[in-house]
A = this chain, B = another copy of it.
Amino acid sequence: MSTTYKTDFAAIKQQFVLPEGMIYLDGNSLGPLPKATSERVKTCIEQEWGQELIRAWNSAGWMATPTRLGDRIARMVGAEPGCITTGDTLSIKVYQALAAGLELRPERRVVLSDSGNFPSDLYMAQGLLQSLGEDNELRVVEPEAVADALTSEVAVLMLTQVDYRSGRLHDMAALSEQARSVGAITLWDLAHTAGAYPVRLADCQADFAVGCSYKFLNGGPGAPAFIYVRPGLKEQVRPALSGWLGHEAPFAFDLDYRAGHGIERMRVGTPPILQMAALDVSLDIWDQVDMDELRARSIELSQLFIAEVEQRCPALRLASPRAPEERGSQVSFAFDEGYAAMQALIARQVIGDFRAPDIMRFGITPLYLDEGDITQAAERIELVMRDEEWRRPEFQVRAAVT
Protein backbone atom coordinates (compact mmCIF):
# COMPACT_ATOMS: atom_id res chain seq x y z
CA MET A 1 0.00 0.00 0.00
CA SER A 2 2.04 2.90 -1.24
CA THR A 3 1.40 6.61 -1.16
CA THR A 4 -0.03 8.41 -4.18
CA TYR A 5 2.46 10.62 -5.99
CA LYS A 6 2.19 13.23 -8.71
CA THR A 7 5.38 11.76 -10.15
CA ASP A 8 4.47 8.71 -12.25
CA PHE A 9 7.24 6.37 -11.11
CA ALA A 10 5.79 3.37 -12.96
CA ALA A 11 5.86 5.28 -16.24
CA ILE A 12 9.38 6.51 -15.56
CA LYS A 13 10.61 2.95 -14.99
CA GLN A 14 9.48 2.17 -18.53
CA GLN A 15 11.92 4.76 -19.85
CA PHE A 16 14.96 2.68 -18.86
CA VAL A 17 16.63 -0.33 -20.39
CA LEU A 18 16.63 -2.94 -17.62
CA PRO A 19 17.98 -6.35 -18.65
CA GLU A 20 15.43 -9.14 -18.27
CA GLY A 21 15.71 -10.88 -14.91
CA MET A 22 18.21 -8.43 -13.48
CA ILE A 23 17.54 -6.35 -10.38
CA TYR A 24 19.87 -3.41 -10.50
CA LEU A 25 20.85 -2.03 -7.11
CA ASP A 26 24.00 -0.31 -8.31
CA GLY A 27 22.60 2.89 -9.71
CA ASN A 28 24.67 4.69 -7.09
CA SER A 29 27.74 3.51 -9.00
CA LEU A 30 26.59 3.62 -12.63
CA GLY A 31 22.98 4.44 -13.48
CA PRO A 32 21.23 2.33 -16.16
CA LEU A 33 20.67 3.36 -19.77
CA PRO A 34 17.63 5.48 -20.63
CA LYS A 35 15.88 4.09 -23.70
CA ALA A 36 16.18 7.40 -25.55
CA THR A 37 19.94 7.81 -25.09
CA SER A 38 21.23 5.72 -27.95
CA GLU A 39 19.16 7.49 -30.58
CA ARG A 40 20.10 10.92 -29.24
CA VAL A 41 23.81 10.13 -29.27
CA LYS A 42 23.43 8.70 -32.77
CA THR A 43 21.92 12.00 -33.91
CA CYS A 44 24.74 13.88 -32.25
CA ILE A 45 27.29 11.72 -34.04
CA GLU A 46 25.69 11.34 -37.48
CA GLN A 47 23.87 14.64 -37.92
CA GLU A 48 25.80 17.11 -35.81
CA TRP A 49 29.36 15.84 -35.99
CA GLY A 50 28.97 13.97 -39.29
CA GLN A 51 27.12 16.62 -41.31
CA GLU A 52 27.72 19.90 -39.53
CA LEU A 53 31.31 19.18 -38.49
CA ILE A 54 33.03 22.21 -36.96
CA ARG A 55 29.94 24.37 -37.54
CA ALA A 56 28.03 22.33 -34.94
CA TRP A 57 29.75 24.31 -32.19
CA ASN A 58 27.31 27.05 -33.19
CA SER A 59 24.55 25.34 -35.18
CA ALA A 60 23.96 22.48 -32.73
CA GLY A 61 24.58 24.64 -29.67
CA TRP A 62 27.58 22.60 -28.50
CA MET A 63 29.43 25.58 -27.06
CA ALA A 64 26.58 26.52 -24.73
CA THR A 65 25.87 22.94 -23.65
CA PRO A 66 27.96 22.74 -20.45
CA THR A 67 26.15 25.56 -18.68
CA ARG A 68 22.78 24.71 -20.20
CA LEU A 69 23.09 21.25 -18.63
CA GLY A 70 24.19 22.90 -15.40
CA ASP A 71 20.94 24.86 -15.33
CA ARG A 72 19.02 21.65 -15.89
CA ILE A 73 20.70 20.12 -12.85
CA ALA A 74 20.14 23.23 -10.72
CA ARG A 75 16.54 22.44 -9.76
CA MET A 76 17.54 18.98 -8.57
CA VAL A 77 20.08 20.31 -6.10
CA GLY A 78 18.28 23.48 -5.05
CA ALA A 79 20.66 25.83 -6.83
CA GLU A 80 20.02 29.26 -8.29
CA PRO A 81 20.05 29.55 -12.12
CA GLY A 82 23.42 30.37 -13.66
CA CYS A 83 25.45 28.88 -10.84
CA ILE A 84 26.31 25.42 -12.21
CA THR A 85 28.36 24.33 -15.18
CA THR A 86 29.33 20.83 -16.29
CA GLY A 87 32.48 19.20 -17.60
CA ASP A 88 35.64 17.33 -16.62
CA THR A 89 35.50 14.72 -13.88
CA LEU A 90 34.39 15.00 -10.29
CA SER A 91 37.99 14.83 -9.09
CA ILE A 92 38.92 17.80 -11.28
CA LYS A 93 35.92 19.76 -10.03
CA VAL A 94 36.89 19.02 -6.41
CA TYR A 95 40.34 20.43 -7.14
CA GLN A 96 38.89 23.49 -8.83
CA ALA A 97 36.50 24.25 -5.99
CA LEU A 98 39.03 23.58 -3.25
CA ALA A 99 41.69 25.74 -4.91
CA ALA A 100 39.20 28.58 -5.25
CA GLY A 101 37.93 28.15 -1.70
CA LEU A 102 41.40 28.23 -0.18
CA GLU A 103 42.18 31.53 -1.89
CA LEU A 104 39.13 33.05 -0.24
CA ARG A 105 40.73 32.36 3.15
CA PRO A 106 44.40 33.10 2.51
CA GLU A 107 45.20 33.50 6.20
CA ARG A 108 44.02 29.97 7.08
CA ARG A 109 45.82 26.68 6.45
CA VAL A 110 43.44 23.84 7.33
CA VAL A 111 41.14 21.87 5.05
CA LEU A 112 38.76 19.87 7.21
CA SER A 113 37.25 16.66 5.90
CA ASP A 114 36.18 13.29 7.24
CA SER A 115 37.09 9.65 6.81
CA GLY A 116 33.71 9.04 5.20
CA ASN A 117 34.59 11.26 2.29
CA PHE A 118 35.25 9.56 -1.01
CA PRO A 119 39.00 8.89 -1.15
CA SER A 120 39.48 10.68 -4.47
CA ASP A 121 38.35 13.92 -2.84
CA LEU A 122 40.98 13.46 -0.16
CA TYR A 123 43.61 12.53 -2.76
CA MET A 124 42.89 15.65 -4.82
CA ALA A 125 43.16 17.76 -1.68
CA GLN A 126 46.47 16.10 -0.80
CA GLY A 127 47.78 16.78 -4.29
CA LEU A 128 46.71 20.40 -4.21
CA LEU A 129 47.98 21.11 -0.70
CA GLN A 130 51.34 19.55 -1.47
CA SER A 131 51.66 21.87 -4.47
CA LEU A 132 50.74 24.87 -2.36
CA GLY A 133 53.39 24.22 0.27
CA GLU A 134 54.18 22.60 3.54
CA ASP A 135 52.23 24.83 5.87
CA ASN A 136 48.87 23.55 4.64
CA GLU A 137 47.09 20.72 6.41
CA LEU A 138 44.38 18.28 5.39
CA ARG A 139 42.70 17.36 8.67
CA VAL A 140 40.61 14.19 8.37
CA VAL A 141 38.39 13.35 11.33
CA GLU A 142 35.68 10.79 11.93
CA PRO A 143 32.29 11.82 10.48
CA GLU A 144 30.83 12.25 13.96
CA ALA A 145 33.68 14.54 14.96
CA VAL A 146 33.30 17.08 12.16
CA ALA A 147 31.20 19.57 14.10
CA ASP A 148 33.67 19.67 16.99
CA ALA A 149 36.62 20.02 14.64
CA LEU A 150 35.05 22.93 12.76
CA THR A 151 36.99 25.80 14.28
CA SER A 152 38.20 29.18 13.08
CA GLU A 153 41.42 27.51 11.89
CA VAL A 154 39.48 25.90 9.05
CA ALA A 155 39.73 27.51 5.63
CA VAL A 156 37.51 25.01 3.81
CA LEU A 157 35.13 22.36 5.10
CA MET A 158 35.09 19.69 2.40
CA LEU A 159 32.54 16.92 2.82
CA THR A 160 30.62 14.43 0.77
CA GLN A 161 27.01 14.79 1.85
CA VAL A 162 26.40 11.03 1.90
CA ASP A 163 29.05 8.51 2.93
CA TYR A 164 29.74 6.23 -0.07
CA ARG A 165 29.99 3.18 2.18
CA SER A 166 27.37 3.55 4.90
CA GLY A 167 24.98 5.99 3.28
CA ARG A 168 25.16 8.21 6.37
CA LEU A 169 23.82 11.68 5.56
CA HIS A 170 25.51 14.83 6.84
CA ASP A 171 23.28 17.72 7.92
CA MET A 172 24.20 20.22 5.22
CA ALA A 173 22.16 23.05 6.69
CA ALA A 174 23.59 22.77 10.19
CA LEU A 175 27.21 22.24 9.15
CA SER A 176 27.06 25.02 6.57
CA GLU A 177 25.67 27.39 9.16
CA GLN A 178 28.33 26.41 11.66
CA ALA A 179 31.01 26.83 8.99
CA ARG A 180 29.76 30.36 8.26
CA SER A 181 29.82 31.17 11.95
CA VAL A 182 33.54 30.34 12.13
CA GLY A 183 34.30 31.92 8.76
CA ALA A 184 35.01 28.68 6.90
CA ILE A 185 34.15 28.08 3.24
CA THR A 186 31.99 25.03 2.48
CA LEU A 187 32.57 22.56 -0.34
CA TRP A 188 29.95 19.83 -0.68
CA ASP A 189 30.37 16.76 -2.85
CA LEU A 190 26.92 15.68 -4.02
CA ALA A 191 28.03 12.45 -5.75
CA HIS A 192 25.53 10.46 -3.69
CA THR A 193 22.80 13.07 -3.29
CA ALA A 194 22.31 14.66 -6.73
CA GLY A 195 19.35 12.71 -8.09
CA ALA A 196 18.90 10.88 -4.81
CA TYR A 197 17.87 13.49 -2.27
CA PRO A 198 16.38 16.99 -2.39
CA VAL A 199 19.61 18.92 -1.90
CA ARG A 200 19.05 22.58 -0.97
CA LEU A 201 22.25 24.37 -1.88
CA ALA A 202 20.77 27.86 -1.92
CA ASP A 203 18.80 27.40 1.28
CA CYS A 204 21.90 26.08 3.02
CA GLN A 205 24.02 28.92 1.60
CA ALA A 206 26.63 26.39 0.51
CA ASP A 207 29.64 28.10 -1.06
CA PHE A 208 30.77 25.40 -3.50
CA ALA A 209 29.33 22.07 -4.54
CA VAL A 210 30.45 19.43 -7.00
CA GLY A 211 28.94 16.20 -8.23
CA CYS A 212 28.98 13.56 -10.90
CA SER A 213 26.27 12.59 -13.34
CA TYR A 214 26.96 8.90 -13.96
CA LYS A 215 25.41 7.64 -10.74
CA PHE A 216 21.84 8.62 -9.82
CA LEU A 217 21.64 11.04 -12.78
CA ASN A 218 22.05 8.18 -15.30
CA GLY A 219 24.29 10.14 -17.66
CA GLY A 220 26.40 7.11 -18.61
CA PRO A 221 29.94 5.87 -17.99
CA GLY A 222 32.28 8.83 -17.62
CA ALA A 223 29.45 11.38 -17.83
CA PRO A 224 30.59 14.93 -17.04
CA ALA A 225 30.84 16.31 -13.54
CA PHE A 226 29.30 19.57 -12.36
CA ILE A 227 30.37 22.45 -10.18
CA TYR A 228 28.31 25.01 -8.28
CA VAL A 229 29.54 28.36 -7.00
CA ARG A 230 27.08 30.45 -5.01
CA PRO A 231 25.90 33.75 -6.51
CA GLY A 232 27.86 35.94 -4.08
CA LEU A 233 31.13 34.24 -4.98
CA LYS A 234 30.92 33.31 -8.62
CA GLU A 235 32.16 36.67 -9.93
CA GLN A 236 34.87 36.74 -7.31
CA VAL A 237 36.63 33.37 -7.38
CA ARG A 238 39.88 32.83 -9.27
CA PRO A 239 39.92 29.65 -11.36
CA ALA A 240 43.21 27.86 -10.71
CA LEU A 241 42.46 25.65 -13.72
CA SER A 242 42.22 28.64 -16.03
CA GLY A 243 41.45 27.07 -19.39
CA TRP A 244 40.44 28.87 -22.55
CA LEU A 245 36.73 28.05 -22.33
CA GLY A 246 36.65 29.80 -18.96
CA HIS A 247 38.17 32.90 -20.53
CA GLU A 248 36.09 36.04 -20.92
CA ALA A 249 36.64 35.89 -24.70
CA PRO A 250 37.93 32.45 -25.70
CA PHE A 251 38.07 33.25 -29.39
CA ALA A 252 39.99 36.48 -28.99
CA PHE A 253 43.04 34.27 -28.37
CA ASP A 254 44.62 36.83 -26.06
CA LEU A 255 47.89 35.83 -24.45
CA ASP A 256 46.61 36.67 -20.96
CA TYR A 257 43.84 34.96 -19.05
CA ARG A 258 40.84 36.99 -17.97
CA ALA A 259 38.20 35.07 -16.03
CA GLY A 260 34.85 34.70 -17.80
CA HIS A 261 31.55 35.88 -16.38
CA GLY A 262 30.26 34.02 -13.37
CA ILE A 263 30.13 30.27 -13.50
CA GLU A 264 31.52 30.22 -17.06
CA ARG A 265 34.97 30.73 -15.57
CA MET A 266 34.77 27.23 -14.08
CA ARG A 267 34.82 25.73 -17.56
CA VAL A 268 38.27 24.55 -18.61
CA GLY A 269 38.81 22.78 -21.95
CA THR A 270 36.75 21.45 -24.84
CA PRO A 271 33.63 19.71 -23.48
CA PRO A 272 32.91 16.00 -24.17
CA ILE A 273 29.98 16.48 -26.55
CA LEU A 274 28.94 12.82 -26.91
CA GLN A 275 28.79 12.38 -23.14
CA MET A 276 26.85 15.61 -22.83
CA ALA A 277 24.29 14.44 -25.38
CA ALA A 278 23.76 11.33 -23.25
CA LEU A 279 23.38 13.37 -20.08
CA ASP A 280 20.88 15.68 -21.77
CA VAL A 281 18.59 12.69 -22.39
CA SER A 282 18.71 11.49 -18.81
CA LEU A 283 17.83 14.99 -17.62
CA ASP A 284 14.66 14.78 -19.74
CA ILE A 285 13.62 11.98 -17.40
CA TRP A 286 14.57 13.98 -14.34
CA ASP A 287 12.30 16.80 -15.51
CA GLN A 288 9.40 14.46 -14.71
CA VAL A 289 10.44 13.91 -11.10
CA ASP A 290 9.49 15.85 -7.98
CA MET A 291 12.52 15.67 -5.71
CA ASP A 292 10.57 15.54 -2.44
CA GLU A 293 8.47 12.70 -3.78
CA LEU A 294 11.63 10.95 -4.92
CA ARG A 295 12.90 11.17 -1.37
CA ALA A 296 9.67 9.82 0.11
CA ARG A 297 9.71 6.94 -2.36
CA SER A 298 13.38 6.23 -1.63
CA ILE A 299 12.60 5.95 2.07
CA GLU A 300 9.63 3.65 1.44
CA LEU A 301 11.72 1.29 -0.66
CA SER A 302 14.73 1.45 1.66
CA GLN A 303 12.66 0.63 4.74
CA LEU A 304 11.12 -2.30 2.90
CA PHE A 305 14.56 -3.54 1.83
CA ILE A 306 15.98 -3.33 5.35
CA ALA A 307 12.97 -5.12 6.82
CA GLU A 308 13.04 -7.90 4.22
CA VAL A 309 16.79 -8.50 4.40
CA GLU A 310 17.00 -8.38 8.18
CA GLN A 311 14.15 -10.85 8.48
CA ARG A 312 15.67 -13.27 5.98
CA CYS A 313 19.41 -12.92 6.62
CA PRO A 314 20.45 -12.69 10.27
CA ALA A 315 24.15 -12.87 9.33
CA LEU A 316 24.01 -9.47 7.61
CA ARG A 317 24.49 -6.49 9.90
CA LEU A 318 22.94 -3.17 8.86
CA ALA A 319 25.83 -0.80 8.17
CA SER A 320 23.66 2.20 7.32
CA PRO A 321 21.89 4.43 9.83
CA ARG A 322 18.56 2.88 10.78
CA ALA A 323 16.78 6.21 10.91
CA PRO A 324 15.80 7.14 7.36
CA GLU A 325 16.40 10.85 7.92
CA GLU A 326 20.07 10.10 8.63
CA ARG A 327 20.56 8.09 5.45
CA GLY A 328 20.93 8.84 1.74
CA SER A 329 19.45 6.62 -0.96
CA GLN A 330 21.43 3.47 -0.34
CA VAL A 331 21.43 0.63 2.17
CA SER A 332 24.60 -1.14 3.22
CA PHE A 333 25.12 -4.35 5.11
CA ALA A 334 28.37 -5.53 6.66
CA PHE A 335 29.47 -9.12 6.26
CA ASP A 336 33.00 -10.49 6.64
CA GLU A 337 32.71 -12.45 3.39
CA GLY A 338 30.96 -9.54 1.73
CA TYR A 339 33.09 -9.56 -1.39
CA ALA A 340 32.33 -13.17 -2.22
CA ALA A 341 28.70 -12.83 -1.16
CA MET A 342 28.28 -9.92 -3.58
CA GLN A 343 29.79 -11.98 -6.40
CA ALA A 344 27.37 -14.80 -5.61
CA LEU A 345 24.51 -12.35 -5.59
CA ILE A 346 25.57 -10.85 -8.92
CA ALA A 347 25.55 -14.40 -10.33
CA ARG A 348 21.90 -14.45 -9.23
CA GLN A 349 21.35 -11.23 -11.19
CA VAL A 350 21.04 -8.92 -8.23
CA ILE A 351 23.63 -6.25 -8.91
CA GLY A 352 25.02 -4.35 -5.96
CA ASP A 353 28.64 -3.63 -5.16
CA PHE A 354 31.25 -4.17 -2.51
CA ARG A 355 33.32 -1.60 -0.67
CA ALA A 356 36.30 -2.65 1.40
CA PRO A 357 36.62 -4.00 3.96
CA ASP A 358 33.23 -5.67 4.40
CA ILE A 359 30.43 -3.53 2.97
CA MET A 360 27.73 -4.90 0.66
CA ARG A 361 26.21 -1.79 -0.88
CA PHE A 362 22.78 -1.46 -2.46
CA GLY A 363 21.57 1.67 -4.23
CA ILE A 364 17.87 2.39 -3.84
CA THR A 365 16.75 4.24 -6.94
CA PRO A 366 13.01 4.93 -7.24
CA LEU A 367 13.20 5.81 -10.93
CA TYR A 368 13.46 2.15 -11.90
CA LEU A 369 12.94 0.10 -8.72
CA ASP A 370 9.61 -0.82 -7.16
CA GLU A 371 8.38 -3.02 -4.31
CA GLY A 372 8.49 -6.14 -6.48
CA ASP A 373 12.16 -5.58 -7.27
CA ILE A 374 13.02 -4.97 -3.64
CA THR A 375 11.27 -8.10 -2.44
CA GLN A 376 12.80 -10.27 -5.17
CA ALA A 377 16.25 -8.90 -4.38
CA ALA A 378 15.79 -9.80 -0.72
CA GLU A 379 14.67 -13.30 -1.70
CA ARG A 380 17.81 -13.85 -3.75
CA ILE A 381 20.04 -12.45 -1.02
CA GLU A 382 18.41 -14.98 1.27
CA LEU A 383 19.34 -17.82 -1.09
CA VAL A 384 22.96 -16.69 -1.24
CA MET A 385 23.20 -16.48 2.53
CA ARG A 386 21.17 -19.52 3.48
CA ASP A 387 23.07 -21.87 1.18
CA GLU A 388 26.40 -20.08 1.77
CA GLU A 389 26.86 -19.76 -1.95
CA TRP A 390 29.64 -17.28 -1.31
CA ARG A 391 31.88 -20.19 -0.28
CA ARG A 392 32.26 -21.28 -3.90
CA PRO A 393 35.81 -20.67 -5.17
CA GLU A 394 34.74 -18.73 -8.26
CA PHE A 395 33.23 -16.02 -6.07
CA GLN A 396 36.43 -15.50 -4.13
CA VAL A 397 38.44 -14.27 -7.14
CA ARG A 398 38.90 -10.51 -7.08
CA ALA A 399 38.18 -8.58 -10.24
CA ALA A 400 40.08 -5.43 -11.19
CA VAL A 401 37.08 -3.25 -10.45
CA THR A 402 34.98 -4.28 -7.50
A interface with B by C-beta (< 8 Å): 17, 19, 22, 24, 26, 29-30, 32-33, 37-38, 41-42, 45-46, 48-51, 53-58, 62-64, 88-92, 95, 99, 115, 118-120, 122-124, 126-128, 130-133, 140, 212, 214, 220-225, 238-245, 247, 251-257, 268-276, 278, 346, 351, 353, 355-356, 399-402
Whether A268 pairs with B89 at a CB distance below 8 angstroms is yes
Across the interface, A45 reaches (CB within 8 A) one of B22, B24, B220, B257, namely: B220
Whether B58 pairs with A30 at a CB distance below 8 angstroms is no
Minimum C-beta distance from A373 to chain B (A):
14
Across the interface, A272 reaches (CB within 8 A) one of B38, B41, B123, B222, namely: B222
Minimum C-beta distance from A21 to chain B (A):
12
Whether A274 pairs with B270 at a CB distance below 8 angstroms is no
- Copies of the polypeptide in the assembly: 2
* Bound-complex Cα distance A275 to B400 (A): 22
Whether B269 pairs with A92 at a CB distance below 8 angstroms is yes
Whether B243 pairs with A399 at a CB distance below 8 angstroms is no
- Residues of chain B within 8 A (CB-CB) of A33 are 45-46, 49-50, 53
* Bound-complex Cα distance A89 to B123 (A): 20
- Residues of chain B within 8 A (CB-CB) of A55 are 346, 351
Whether B37 pairs with A45 at a CB distance below 8 angstroms is yes
Whether B221 pairs with A91 at a CB distance below 8 angstroms is no
* Bound-complex Cα distance A24 to B275 (A): 25
Whether A274 pairs with B92 at a CB distance below 8 angstroms is no
A252's nearest neighbour on chain B, judged by CB, is B356
Task: Answer whether A127 and B271 are a contact pair too, CB < 8 Å, given A54-B353, A57-B401, A62-B221.
Answer: no
